Copies of this chain bind each other. A is one copy, B any other.
């Protein structure tokens, strides 16, 4: 797969814009993504038992329809936990967007991110729809990305080219996510476009497989968002048709796209300074490897220690022991700290290892580090992506409500 400069609008059949509507005091906060010829859309959503109105709406809409023409996404207000009025405002917003684009309200999928529990004002979208429509462009992906960010410090967009069935197809993606990251079958907001021709059912299946191995292996702070949403939108403007024959190749490509976006969220995790991969090997099952990896990725103790590049592996060993995985033989476990600078075994078979602390520190001084845990009890492994926890975490987290 080839990474190319671009984003969702690098895919034929996709226009986008990002403008300021007033959900935030001054930044861009409304993204309009338009498919003039329509797109087949599949989605996965948060499993938080308390979910945003757009999650409820999109779940139903994707059951009733397969093709849509617009995504309308705001940041600055999650439109969650704000009752019946919030849902009414969402319905109103789909009509406002449909009227402006001269399409049907049922061809619009809305999504929101931002502060939970504030009244949602559809009239902010009404006030800015003409401008957003006017700005629609095949170069507007980055602006749309900007408009869906909240605490994110960096844009997260990319375009990708891959050959499937001997022919080129294109992917584009924009993502937001930094805090409240503990996806559970869905995640944050991520919008992926592709020009493949696809039936919704097969697209759904492919997205489910890809997110399981990517967004669901990501965790920054252990809260599943009320608004997690991944949509993949296939405009069908390439000559390739998704079939059982090329399905595996498509899933592989989509997984790579999702992995790239998921890792960027961890890199931009709230108050993060390091990208950490917790790699668990030699587990009895993949589930067990994921369970242990997520337990550690949720550990403020380990993450705060690593933020200072302190090779205090007691934070790893005590975390392994307090996790809830069923089988654990401390005498068999090995823990390694790894980065581009090398690999060092720091704990082996419940014994301390005679290594130079300064060597370990040099390795984890890097911005991308791997905590590799070899359980030596089975054949299964999994990698979980997370970030460290610096003093900025508190700053970023508590400032959030004011963005």
Which A residues lie at the B interface, using CB under 8 A?
48-51, 78, 80-84, 115-119, 179-180, 182, 184, 221-226, 298-301, 304-305, 307-308, 310, 312-315, 317-322, 328, 330, 347, 349-352, 389-391, 393-395, 397-398, 400-401
Chain B residue with Cβ nearest A348:
B83
CB pair B222 A401 closer than 8 Å: no
Tell me how far the C-beta of A258 lies from the nearest C-beta in chain B, rounded to whole angstroms. 21
Known: A48-B318, A305-B397, A310-B401. A221 touches B300 (CB 8 A): yes
Copy number in this complex? 2
Tell me how far the C-beta of A363 lies from the nearest C-beta in chain B, rounded to whole angstroms. 16
Known: A180-B301, A310-B401. A317 touches B394 (CB 8 A): no
Tell me how far the C-beta of A31 lies from the nearest C-beta in chain B, rounded to whole angstroms. 22
Tell me how far the C-beta of A265 lies from the nearest C-beta in chain B, rounded to whole angstroms. 15
Chain B residue with Cβ nearest A184:
B322
Tell me how far the C-beta of A78 lies from the nearest C-beta in chain B, rounded to whole angstroms. 7
CB pair A394 B225 closer than 8 Å: no
Tell me how far the C-beta of A276 lies from the nearest C-beta in chain B, rounded to whole angstroms. 15
A312: chain B residues at CB < 8 Å are: 115-116, 398, 400-401
Which one of A48, A310, A314 has the greatest number of beta carbons of chain B within 10 Å?
A: A314
A395: chain B residues at CB < 8 Å are: 391
Which one of A226, A319, A398 has the greatest number of beta carbons of chain B within 10 Å?
A: A398
Which one of A81, A225, A391, A400 has the greatest number of beta carbons of chain B within 10 Å?
A: A81
Tell me how far the C-beta of A131 lies from the nearest C-beta in chain B, rounded to whole angstroms. 29
A352: chain B residues at CB < 8 Å are: 81-83, 117-119
A117: chain B residues at CB < 8 Å are: 313-314, 317, 347, 352
Which one of A118, A320, A352 has the greatest number of beta carbons of chain B within 10 Å?
A: A352
A-B interface, 8 closest residue pairs, ranked by CB to CB distance from nearest = A116-B314, A50-B321, A83-B351, A308-B398, A224-B322, A304-B397, A48-B321, A312-B401
Tell me how far the C-beta of A346 lies from the nearest C-beta in chain B, rounded to whole angstroms. 8
CB pair B397 A320 closer than 8 Å: no
Q: Which of B223, B299, B310, B322 contacts A318 (CB 8 A)?
A: B223
A330: chain B residues at CB < 8 Å are: 49-50, 81
Q: Which of B82, B226, B298, B307 contacts A321 (CB 8 A)?
A: B226
